Chain A
Amino acid sequence: MTPRLSVSDLAKAYDGLQVLDGLDLEVGKGEFVSLLGPSGAGKSTLFRLLTGGRPDRGTIRLDGAPIAEQTAPFAFMPQRDALMDWRTIIGNASLGLEIAGVPRHEARARVAPLFAEFGLSGFQHHYPAQLSGGMRQRAALLRTIVMDRPMLLLDEPFGALDALTRAGMQRWLAAMWQRHRWTALLITHDVREAILLSDRIYLLSPRPARVVAEIHVPLPRPRSQADLATPEALRIEARLLDTLLDPSQGQIP
């Protein structure tokens, strides 16, 4: 079966600095895949290339066709939440639909029923500054999924949250994914987050980024933080950490 996303031999240099060099990866339909790598490994560069940047080399295909021929294949959730201070939560959530030309009233009517599932009931007309960090992230994710694109790109969505809120959000996202089975590619440098959420994890080398390991996470779903303490999960965590911290990878933590 053709994978939803297939990236092959992707390379990109900025100002003479080779950021990506021969990156290959695939994401199947309905699969949750994480990209795990040291900071500055070029994970965000991959997202730049997926969302309109030009690679120096390599191809990106969505359902077998080059992405240049696709219209708006990805729903992107940037690092931090990038909510607009000046729009209410429902205004933020319906932003993607409005940009796509859906009239404002219709866009809001389409988004409104989803507020309960995202734990945002009653906050439709609040401004982002009135919400907690976790709620802001849920609003940002709501804004991402209502666009109804073939695939989600999540760039360290929980990186800026405190540890407790982050754990809560990871559990919540795991449950949401269980129900909706979005095709998703997640950038993270949180090993346990990757294990909790992913079907598969790609480990990237330090710059220039290449895939150094591909790890399946066969833990049964639905998962919770407790499943991270099973022997299977601990073995995967140890292997991920070993590879990430391996001095032969040139990374000194």
Chain B
Amino acid sequence: MVNPMLERLWRIAPALSAITILLLLWESYVALSGIAPTTLPAPSRIWAQGVLNWPSLAQNTWPTVQATVLGFMLSLCVAFVLSVVIDFSPALRRALLPVLVISQTLPLIAIAPLVILWFGFGLAPKILLVAFVTFFPMLVAWLKGYEATEPDLEWLLGTMGAGRAAIFRQARLPSALPYFFAGLRISTTYAVVAAIFAEYAGAARGLGIYILSAKNNFRPDLVLAAVGVSAVLTLCLFGLAILAERIAMPWARFREPRR
């Protein structure tokens, strides 16, 4: 195919048709079974109510976007700094890594209300919770990536007179990039959910609060409209991650299967 737009469309066609078929099945089930819209609303109703209630929905989306973006930025920094510290110091690796693994075993449902209790109802606890949920896959990816550096390359740099820091910058860091971006993709899918969960545990506004109050008012259509918004946010974040990967690794397009 010559036209790149057309080619891209062709590539996402199967996904689009699968989603369309699912929505059609859902829509026709609701129409044919006569199920109450307060139990299971049809996609068309969710869309219509979402549009109708858009002002309040949008108002509650903004805090969630803020918490997600700021939390994710914090998470990126924390994951990178920790990975560098751990890579340079075997002692710190032994000290920190088990603690970090244990941190990931803590149930969020217990942590979130406590963080709210300590830091209040503002933005700070949400940022912390988003970072807490998303840093780990990226940290693990960095560490795995550093270790995947070709030993010959480090040897070569050593013979050129490169020290530990130069070897890290010239070989270990770029070698780890493909791993990092794999971790980044995983993390993006947790970020919005984490922000919503944090709001659920206590907030003035946000998609989590919107979902909570829609549920309490027996409005599953609005719950699902908010879910749709959160899905779109996650997809945007995921898309940004892929874009960042393209920009950061222009050589990856040419990579052949590992020899």
Residues of A within 8 A of B (CB): 48, 51-52, 71-72, 74-76, 78-80, 82, 84-86, 95-96, 99-100, 127, 129-130, 147, 153, 160
Q: State whether the Cβ of B171 lies closer than 8 Å to any Cβ in chain A.
A: yes
Q: How far is the CA of A95 from the CA of B153 in the complex (A)?
A: 11
Q: How far is the CA of A194 from the CA of B243 in the complex (A)?
A: 49
Q: Is the interface of B mostly helix, strand, loop or mixed?
A: helix
CB distance B251 to A129 under 8 Å? yes
If A78-B152, A84-B174 touch, does A129 touch B157 (CB 8 Å cutoff)? no
Q: State whether the Cβ of B156 lies closer than 8 Å to any Cβ in chain A.
A: yes
CB distance B174 to A99 under 8 Å? no
Q: State whether the Cβ of B155 lies closer than 8 Å to any Cβ in chain A.
A: yes
Given contacts A72-B161, A78-B152, A84-B170, list 6 more A-B pairs with CB under 8 A.
Answer: A51-B159, A72-B159, A75-B159, A79-B152, A84-B174, A129-B256
CB distance B160 to A147 under 8 Å? yes
If A82-B153, A86-B177 touch, does A95 touch B251 (CB 8 Å cutoff)? no
CB distance B254 to A78 under 8 Å? no
CB distance A76 to B251 under 8 Å? no
Please name all residues of chain B whose beta carbon is closer than 8 Å to the beta carbon of A129 when the two chains form the complex: 251, 254-256
If A78-B155, A84-B174, A86-B177 touch, does A100 touch B161 (CB 8 Å cutoff)? yes
CB distance A99 to B155 under 8 Å? no
18 pairs from A and B in contact (CB 8 Å cutoff): A48-B155, A72-B159, A74-B159, A76-B155, A76-B156, A78-B152, A82-B150, A82-B152, A84-B170, A85-B174, A86-B177, A95-B160, A96-B160, A99-B161, A99-B166, A99-B170, A130-B254, A153-B159
Within the complex, the shortest CB–CB distance from B153 to chain A, in Å, comes to 5
Number of interface residues of B (CB under 8 A): 22
Residues of B within 8 A of A (CB): 150, 152-153, 155-162, 166, 170-171, 174, 177, 249, 251, 254-256, 259
Q: How far is the CA of A79 from the CA of B155 in the complex (A)?
A: 11
Closest B residue to A96 by beta carbon equals B160
Within the complex, the shortest CB–CB distance from B156 to chain A, in Å, comes to 5
Please name all residues of chain A whose beta carbon is closer than 8 Å to the beta carbon of B161 when the two chains form the complex: 71-72, 99-100
Closest B residue to A48 by beta carbon equals B155
CB distance B159 to A52 under 8 Å? yes
What is the total of A-B residue contacts with beta carbons within 8 Å?
Answer: 58
Please name all residues of chain A whose beta carbon is closer than 8 Å to the beta carbon of B249 when the two chains form the complex: 86
If A96-B160, A99-B162, A147-B160 touch, does A127 touch B254 (CB 8 Å cutoff)? yes
If A99-B166, A127-B254, A129-B256 touch, does A82 touch B156 (CB 8 Å cutoff)? yes
CB distance A86 to B251 under 8 Å? yes
Within the complex, the shortest CB–CB distance from A165 to chain B, in Å, comes to 13
Q: How far is the CA of A71 from the CA of B256 in the complex (A)?
A: 38
Q: How far is the CA of A130 from the CA of B174 in the complex (A)?
A: 18
Q: How far is the CA of A87 from the CA of B153 in the complex (A)?
A: 13
Q: How far is the CA of A104 from the CA of B158 in the complex (A)?
A: 19
Within the complex, the shortest CB–CB distance from A111 to chain B, in Å, comes to 14
Please name all residues of chain A whose beta carbon is closer than 8 Å to the beta carbon of B159 when the two chains form the complex: 51-52, 72, 74-76, 153
CB distance B160 to A85 under 8 Å? no
Please name all residues of chain A whose beta carbon is closer than 8 Å to the beta carbon of B158 when the two chains form the complex: 51-52
Closest B residue to A76 by beta carbon equals B159
Q: How far is the CA of A129 from the CA of B258 in the complex (A)?
A: 10
Within the complex, the shortest CB–CB distance from B240 to chain A, in Å, comes to 21
Q: How far is the CA of A79 from the CA of B160 in the complex (A)?
A: 16
Please name all residues of chain A whose beta carbon is closer than 8 Å to the beta carbon of B256 when the two chains form the complex: 129
Closest B residue to A79 by beta carbon equals B152
Q: How far is the CA of A147 from the CA of B254 in the complex (A)?
A: 28
Within the complex, the shortest CB–CB distance from A175 to chain B, in Å, comes to 25
- Which 7 A-B pairs have CB atoms at the shortest separation, nearest pair first? A129-B254, A78-B152, A76-B159, A99-B160, A127-B251, A86-B174, A82-B152
Please name all residues of chain A whose beta carbon is closer than 8 Å to the beta carbon of B170 when the two chains form the complex: 84, 95, 99
Q: How far is the CA of A100 from the CA of B174 in the complex (A)?
A: 20
Q: How far is the CA of A72 from the CA of B105 in the complex (A)?
A: 49
Please name all residues of chain A whose beta carbon is closer than 8 Å to the beta carbon of B156 when the two chains form the complex: 76, 78, 82
Please name all residues of chain A whose beta carbon is closer than 8 Å to the beta carbon of B157 when the two chains form the complex: 95, 99
Q: How far is the CA of A63 from the CA of B160 in the complex (A)?
A: 20
Please name all residues of chain B whose beta carbon is closer than 8 Å to the beta carbon of A82 when the two chains form the complex: 150, 152-153, 156
Please name all residues of chain A whose beta carbon is closer than 8 Å to the beta carbon of B174 when the two chains form the complex: 84-86
Within the complex, the shortest CB–CB distance from B133 to chain A, in Å, comes to 30
Closest A residue to B167 by beta carbon equals A99
When the two chains form the complex, which single residue of B152, B155, B166, B255 contacts A85, counting CB atoms closer than 8 Å? B255
